[in-house]
């Protein structure tokens, strides 16, 4: 018989607060058209994107995260000292080590929490949320800060007609803490590694270091393959998340998909047969694709503008490079 005492975690977990940060520079499509042969109409029709935010040198991954985290902590009604773990999802922190989460934890005054980074692309927020829920319920942490942050402008090839217009920068954060009833549903997540090459970094860092290539690495993708996968396969995953939570689409108040492409979002809404009463996040129009930051940024904007309210039931789903995905139903803070 084991001598280990059982964990004393909370019965359930919830999102307690949310915060976001968008860089001050707003970049319209006209700027993108300076380096690719396209048009504003083509970009809008293919992606739904009109503008995106690009970070200045001072708006680092850490700086944006700190701003978003401060808002999330205040919104949650806790203090930085109460944060027991910091999870950061990003692909644009260029230091292999240490994890940027450690710097962020220190700068926000969190004391000595567990702190680590994860790399799960555009599904990173969902992965981080799932880990945070587990920590709270298991008892390893009472309050967990989950951050999705990207400076994808650093990894954008402005001459690549397929991707130059897609990416933006920003940070979104939530605080996850204890709950007395289920407020974060089961996560449906997974990967399809056989399709990993459809979204990838152009070359490894060491190829650039060794002079094998002269062009700085960037993110590239096979647009049509990604579109088909997202539209057909991710709608199935979203439905599985609803089923796992024991609710139907008619029970939803809000739908917050990864802000990859307006056409993907609209197709998923149609496939899922969401009622017109469901508020759908379409933050991609003015924010672009911010990868791991897109869901918390969209969540924060919906709540700030009154399009969603505290206590609403929301379906969130992220999907991207890997190809990886994660979907769950949550109660909004």
Query: Which of the residues are catalytic?
Result: 122, 258, 289
Contact 250, 289 (CB under 8 A): no
Q: Where are the beta strands (DSSP E) in 93-194?
A: 114-118, 144-151, 169-179, 188-191
Query: Which pair of structure tokens corresponds to residue 240?
Result: 């599985």
Helix axis angle, 40-47 relative to 262-272, nearest 10°? 30
Which of 202, 147, 145 minimizes the C-alpha distance to 170?
Answer: 147
Contact 161, 299 (CB under 8 A): no
SS3 85: strand
Distance CA 237, CA 190 (A): 9
Contact 175, 135 (CB under 8 A): no
Query: In angstroms, what CA-CA distances link 315 with 142, 173, 213?
Result: 24, 17, 42
How are beta strands 313-320 and 324-331 bridged, if at all? antiparallel
Distance CA 293, CA 297 (A): 6
Distance CA 298, CA 260 (A): 12
Query: Which pair of structure tokens corresponds to residue 55?
Result: 């970070």
Query: Which pair of structure tokens corresponds to residue 61?
Result: 């991954």
SS3 237: helix
Q: What are phi and psi of 184, to 5 degrees?
A: -135, 115
Residue 267: its H or E element = helix 262-272
Residue 207: its H or E element = helix 205-209
């Amino acid at each position: 018989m084991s001598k280990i005492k059982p964990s004393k975690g909370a019965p359930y977990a919830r999102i307690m607060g949310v915060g976001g940060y968008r860089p001050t520079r707003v970049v319209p499509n006209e700027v993108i058209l300076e380096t690719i042969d396209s048009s504003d109409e083509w970009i809008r029709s293919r992606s739904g994107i009109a503008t995106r935010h690009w970070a200045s040198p001072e708006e680092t991954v850490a700086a944006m995260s700190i701003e978003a985290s401060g808002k999330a902590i205040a919104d949650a009604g806790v203090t930085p000292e109460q944060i027991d773990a910091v999870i950061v999802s990003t692909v644009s922190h260029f230091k292999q080590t240490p994890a940027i989460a450690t710097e962020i934890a220190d700068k926000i005054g969190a004391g000595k929490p567990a702190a680590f980074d994860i790399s799960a692309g555009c599904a990173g927020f969902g992965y981080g949320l799932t880990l945070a829920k587990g920590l709270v319920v298991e008892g390893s942490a009472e309050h967990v800060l989950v951050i999705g942050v990207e400076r994808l402008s650093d990894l954008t090839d402005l001459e690549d007609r397929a991707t130059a217009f897609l990416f933006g920068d920003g940070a979104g954060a939530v605080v996850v803490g204890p709950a007395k009833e289920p407020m974060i549903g089961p996560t449906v997540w997974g990967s399809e590694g056989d399709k990993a090459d459809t979204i990838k970094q152009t070359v490894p860092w060491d190829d650039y270091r060794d002079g094998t290539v002269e062009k700085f690495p960037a993110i590239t993708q096979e647009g049509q393959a990604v579109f088909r996968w997202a539209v057909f396969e991710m709608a199935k995953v979203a439905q599985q998340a609803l089923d796992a939570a024991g609710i139907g689409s008619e029970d939803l108040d809000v739908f917050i998909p990864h802000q990859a492409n307006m056409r993907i979002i609209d197709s998923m809404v149609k496939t899922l047969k969401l009622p017109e009463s469901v508020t759908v996040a379409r933050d991609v129009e003015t924010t672009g694709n911010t990868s791991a930051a897109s869901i918390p940024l969209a969540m924060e904007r919906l709540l700030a503008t009154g399009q969603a309210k505290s206590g609403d039931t929301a379906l969130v789903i992220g999907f991207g490079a890997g190809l990886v995905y994660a979907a769950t139903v949550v109660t909004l803070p």
